[in-house]
Amino acid sequence: MAKVNERLKTEASFERELLQQQVADRERALKEAQDRQMQLQNSKDAELSRVSLEYEGKLARLQRQKALSNQNQTSSANSDIFRKKLQNMKNEYEMELSRLRQTVAGLEQKLANTAAVQTGSVFQQTQRQRQTLSTGKRKRIA
């Protein structure tokens, strides 16, 4: 009985160590995913700031050009051209901003999926990935 009891304690100890190691591995993987997500977020914030400054500079330049052209211009056709250019630049800015927001949302979703893997099963993870992929495809198509 003592040997059996000792063997069971040893097996339980090995299993506990194995489980503790798996938990530590998953915590480490989660930490790495969070770090990557934070780096990507910072990168996207910097890119968003850069694009915003670029847009504001272009907008200011176009406004100066428009002011100069309005002084020298008698025709409304040139005014329409600049207005269209300004509108196109604004549309490009909004599209870039939308793309960056979608990227950030996708990264947040990936981080949420990574956290869910810690508590979920492989089947649930696969289902979430499929759902994320199909959502991403739908967004790209739209």
**What pLDDT sits at residue 68?**
79
Amino acid letter, 95:
M
- Over the stretch 95-110, which tens digit does the pLDDT of each residue have? 999 999 999 998 888 8
Q: What is the mean pLDDT of the chain?
A: 84
Burial (CB count <10 Å: 0-12, 13-18, 19+), residue 98: exposed
Q: Which two tokens stand for residue 68?
A: 């100069």
> Residue 54 is encoded by which pair of tokens?
């670029």
Instruction: Give me 60's structure tokens.
Output: 């200011």
Domain ranges of the chain: 2-141
Report the chain's terminal Cα–Cα distance, integer Å.
Answer: 69
Please state the pTM of the whole predicted model: 0.37
From CA 25, how far away is CA 86, in angstroms rounded? 52
Summarised one tens digit per residue, pLDDT across range 58-69 is 999 999 888 877
